[in-house]
Amino acid sequence: MIGRAWVVALSLFAGLAQASASQDAIAWLAKVSAASQTLNYAGTFVYQAGRTTETSRIAHISDATGEYERLETLDGPPREIVRSNGDVRFYLPQEKIIISDHAMPKRFPAWAHVSPDQLMGNYNVRLGSLDRVAGMPAQQVVLEPRDAFRYGHTFWVEPGSGLMLKSRMLDSTGAVVEQFAFSDVSIGGLVERDKVRSRYAAAAGGWREINARGAAVTPEEAGVSCRGLLPGFRPISTVRRQVKDGGADAVHLVYSDGLATISVFVEPIVQGRKTPVVGESAVGPTRIFKRLIGAQYLVTALGEVPPESVRRLAESVEIRQK
């Protein structure tokens, strides 16, 4: 009886220790979320996915009037993203196009604060070792998926400020799906306002502007539902927007598990046009699955998740008759 009591006690203590370790890691993620919104920072980071490598420069300012950010690519065709609080403008100089949209789901080095319960329901969250990135100390925060519907992640966080210095996404074999990492970064202090202003805005008077903001609608108004959601994913927005020039409006649904995000587009098929190609595909780390509902609708699900996840979510979509 005494031996069994010791086993029970040790199991209890182990469970408490694991819960405490998860809470410590969650606290680090909360620090990252706050840092990405409230800090001034500027630097250069490298993105890698498969054989693709891309270098970008970012500057971020937070003050009494809000958040401002400018990101420009330094490789290949010039591209620029400028964020002013909740509004985002994409500048494509070669095409002379500006795309305006609402703020997107946050990407490196930002972290959107989410419910700890939702996050821990889908991932084992723990602290890793102390490392070094861009010449700075970096605490690893590890998120291991609890099932095969999502990828694993490791974040490297600068301990003093809480800014994320590096982010790595891993598949079920431990192979790197994609990685972001600062090569140099300055944290805190003054970032000049010009650093977050577009370099193309003054010359873009004759450029074509596309409004991709769309209009928020309720699921009932959209007439679209999912009969069985992907485990761990919750609906976070439903928007009606135009996804193709001259095309009919599509319904854009977004689902999240607290870290990964999947977009689902449901658009009417224009009669007389070529039948869309359906099935699985990929663009870099983004997995895509398309299917038809009768001859009337095309459903497209896409996200940086395993192929099975986008397929299951796409196949769960139903059109409700109004």
- Whether 17-203 shares its CATH topology with 214-319 is answered no
pLDDT digits (tens, 9 = 90+) for 57-69: 999 999 999 999 9
Contacts of 196 (CB under 8 A, 6+ apart): 59, 60, 61, 68, 69, 70, 82
Q: What integer is the mean pLDDT of 34-50?
A: 95
What's the CATH superfamily of 214-319? MucB/RseB, C-terminal domain (3.30.200.100)
Contacts of 292 (CB under 8 A, 6+ apart): 269, 275, 276, 278, 298, 299
CB 265 within 8 A of CB 290: no
What is the spatial distance between Cα 161 and Cα 317, in angstroms, rounded to a whole number?
43
Sequence spans of domains, the chain: 17-203, 214-319
The CATH number of the domain covering residues in 17-203? 2.50.20.10
100 vs 103: which has the higher pLDDT: 100
Rounded average pLDDT over 265-278: 85
What's the whole-number mean pLDDT along residues 5-28?
59
157-202: per-residue pLDDT in tens? 999 999 999 999 999 999 999 999 999 999 999 999 999 999 999 8
CB atoms within 10 A of CB 290: 19
